[in-house]
Amino acid sequence: MTKEEQLNVLKKIISIQTVNQNEAELADYIASLFAPYVGKNVNIEKVNYAPGRDNLVVTIGNGGKVLGYSGHMDVVDPGDLDAWDTDPFDPVVKDDKLYGRGACDMKSGLAAVVVALLEMLEKGDQLPGTIKLLATVGEETGNYGAAELTKQGYADDLDGLVIAEPCDDLHSINYACKGVIDYHVTSVGKAAHSSRPQKGINAIDNLFEFAQQAKAKLASFDHKDPVLGKLTHVISLIQGGEQINSVPSEATLGGNIRTIPEYPNQVVYDTLEGIIDQLNQQPGFDLSIKYTFPEEPMGGDPAAPLIKLAQQVAKEELGFTPQPVTSTGANDGQEFTQSKKDFTSIIIGPGSDESHMPNEYVDLPAYYNAIRFYQKFAHAFFN
C-alpha cells in the first residue's frame, strides 16, 4: 500500500462513528478489506454482543503458534464540540498530525494492525503460524467485547497478544496493570423520630460498622506485587439519611479497590461478602453489596520473552528500544488473559497522551512506524 492508502484506511475508520455503540459498521468495513482473501487461509467471524455491536475476529493462517493482535473499535464521546477546532468525525491532517475522535485511542493502532495484516496478505507472506485479529466492542465502558470473546473461547489458543493501544508512540510497552473493583453497599434500617432512637434502626451506624471492618481487613492485605505495588482501597462515595431529626432508614457507600495478582478479585469479593454475612446475622443489620465493572489484575514480568522480542524488533526496525511500564488503567488484555491458556499480553501502539481529549490526534510518523513494527513483529514471533 502507498502511504496515502495507509492513511485513507485510518481516515475511514475514524469517520465511522462508534461512540460507545455502532461497532458493527466498523466491523463490516474492516471485514470488507479482508474479504478478497477469504478462502486463502483467511477466515472472518463476527461475534455479536448487542444490536449494532459486533466484535470481529479475522484469522490468518492455519495451525502453528497463534499471535493475537487486538484493538477496540469504540471511542468515547467527543464532548463539547466547541472545544474542537475540526469535526471529530471528519479527520484532518495538519503538520503531520491527524486529528479526529479516536485518532489516538485507538483507531490509529487498530488501523495500523489492519494495514499491516493486509500488506502481508498482499505480499503473500507465508508465516509458519496463525495471526488472529481481535477487534472488540465496548472497551471504554467495561471491556465487554473482550469479555464476550474470551467467554466464547476466542483467546484460548493464543500464544501471545499485542494490543495496539496508544503507548507513548511505541516508545513504551505496557505489560501489567492493577485490577479494579467498584463496590456499592446499601444499608437498610428503620426510620423513627430521633428523640426516640430505640424505636428505629440506624442505617448509617450499621454502614459505618461495615466501613470500619472493610477498611481494616483490606489494609491487612499488605503483600506487595513486585511490579504493581500494593492493593489500594478508597471509600469514595457516601450518602444516607432523610432529615436531621429522623433515624436514617437507608444509607449507601461506594468504594474503589485496585487489586494485584497476590489478591485476585475473588479473594476481595469473599472478604467483603464475609463481613456483610457476619454483620447481617446481628439484629437490625440489613446490608447488601453489588459491583460495577470489575477487572482482574494482570501481573507481568518486564523480562518476559514477548517484551524482549518487541524491544528487539523496535530497535532494529524503528531505531529505539521501548521501555516496559505498568499502568493503573484497565484494558482488554485483562479479559483476554482470563482464557484457558497462559500467555503474555502487551500494549504497544501509536498515540500518546491525547486519549479522550478534544482535538485528539496521532502523530502520523508513529502510525506508519506501527504498521512496520506489527509486520516485523509477526515475522519475529514465528521465527
Q: How many CB atoms lie within 10 A of CB 383?
A: 9
Residue 105 C-beta: closest distance to Zn ion, Å: 4
Q: How many CB atoms lie within 10 A of CB 52?
A: 13
List Cβ<8 Å contacts ≥24 apart for 34-40. Answer: 34/58, 34/117, 34/118, 34/121, 37/121, 40/121
Nearer to Zn ion, 192 or 357 (CB): 357
314 binds Zn ion (CB under 5 A): no
Closest CA to 135 of 164, 94, 160: 164
67: helix, coil or strand? strand
Residue 226 C-beta: closest distance to Zn ion, Å: 26
Nearer to Zn ion, 116 or 347 (CB): 347
Residues 132-191 that bind Zn ion (CB under 5 A): 165
Residue 139 C-beta: closest distance to Zn ion, Å: 6
Nearer to Zn ion, 106 or 366 (CB): 106
Interface with Zn ion by CB under 5 A: which range of 91-99, 103-111, 145-153, 240-248?
103-111
Interface with Zn ion by CB under 5 A: which range of 4-12, 86-94, 99-107, 258-266?
99-107
Nearer to Zn ion, 138 or 189 (CB): 138
Q: In Å, how far from its chain's centre is CA 81?
A: 26
332 binds Zn ion (CB under 5 A): no
105 binds Zn ion (CB under 5 A): yes
Whether omega before 106 lies within 30 degrees of 0, making that bond cis, reads: yes
Nearer to Zn ion, 143 or 259 (CB): 143
Q: How far apart are CA 201 and CA 195, in angstroms?
A: 13
- The DSSP output letter for 169 is G
Residue 188 C-beta: closest distance to Zn ion, Å: 39
Residue 124 C-beta: closest distance to Zn ion, Å: 32
Interface with Zn ion by CB under 5 A: which range of 63-71, 101-109, 256-264, 313-321?
101-109
Question: H/E element holding 158?
Answer: none
Nearer to Zn ion, 148 or 165 (CB): 165
**Residue 52 CB-half CA count within 13 A:** 8
Q: How far apart are CA 232 and CA 292, in angstroms?
A: 17
Interface with Zn ion by CB under 5 A: which range of 26-34, 55-63, 104-112, 268-276?
104-112
Place of cell 477546532: 85
74 binds Zn ion (CB under 5 A): no
Question: H/E element holding 113?
Answer: helix 108-123
Residue 356 C-beta: closest distance to Zn ion, Å: 9
Tell me which residues are annotated as active site. 74, 139
Kindly give the pairing relationship between strand 65-72 and strand 224-225: unpaired
Lateral strand order in the sheet of 361-363: 92-94, 97-99, 361-363
Kindly give the pairing relationship between strand 97-99 and strand 42-50: unpaired
Interface with Zn ion by CB under 5 A: which range of 42-50, 97-105, 252-260, 279-287?
97-105
**Residues contacting Zn ion: total by CB under 5 A:** 3
106 binds Zn ion (CB under 5 A): yes
- Contacts with Zn ion by CB under 5 A lie at 105-106, 165
